[in-house]
Chain A
Amino acid sequence: GDSVTQMEGPVTLSEEAFLTINCTYTATGYPSLFWYVQYPGEGLQLLLKATKADDKGSNKGFEATYRKETTSFHLEKGSVQVSDSAVYFCALGYSGAGSYQLTFGKGTKLSVIP
């Protein structure tokens, strides 16, 4: 079956440091890939997505490229801020028979210190 594997956290970085959160997947078809972010005490928000190989999703300074050859979708940001402290989830999804189900990784908690 499909699965998503994320690097385990927690990850602690100083402000303005470079961020990479690794995400790899196994899939039986051609899914879309997503990064969701969950700020403390809040629900999940879509951060970025990519729907096909070589697509790059980007938002709020974060970016991730859909790499079919390495089955990866690593999240990067050049300079993190304290406000980026959150839990980040990588996910894949298919549409089929009218439904759309997401398979999530376990999440990576990021803490950014001043």
Chain B
Amino acid sequence: NAGVTQTPKFQVLKTGQSMTLQCAQDMNHEYMSWYRQDPGMGLRLIHYSVGAGITDQGEVPNGYNVSRSTTEDFPLRLLSAAPSQTSVYFCASRGQNSGNTIYFGEGSWLTVV
């Protein structure tokens, strides 16, 4: 019973590098999203998707890119990492069969130096 799986769990990047945070869910959920968590800020929505081929911006989308080629996967790309992107990233999903409950992955701790 995997649920929402994120990789990697920890990553250190140099400023200017690019990388992709992977997110996969095995619950056939239509809706997936990415949040970042910063001290004293709670969680803020970066991007979300309501289904394969459909993505949209959340509250803090700048510096991030997403795609949704399949129902299962929703990768988050950092195009040119900046220290301000040091954060904990959470992927989440929800489906019609889960009511209004959103399920979160275990998080990815990213440090940009």
Q: Chain A interface (Cβ within 8 Å of chain B)?
A: 4, 32, 36, 42-46, 49, 51, 89, 93, 95, 97-102, 104-107
Contacts and interface: CB of A to CB of B under 8 A. Distances in A.
B35 to A, nearest CB: 8
A32 B100 contact: yes
Among the interface residues A49, A102, A106, which one has the most CB atoms of the partner chain B within 10 A?
Answer: A102
Interface stretch (B13-21, B36-44, B62-70, B79-87): B36-44
Interface of B: 30-31, 33, 35, 40-45, 48, 50-51, 56, 58, 90, 92, 94, 100-107
A46 B3 CA distance: 13
A98 B30 contact: yes
A33 B30 CA distance: 21
A4 B42 CA distance: 10
B42 A44 contact: no
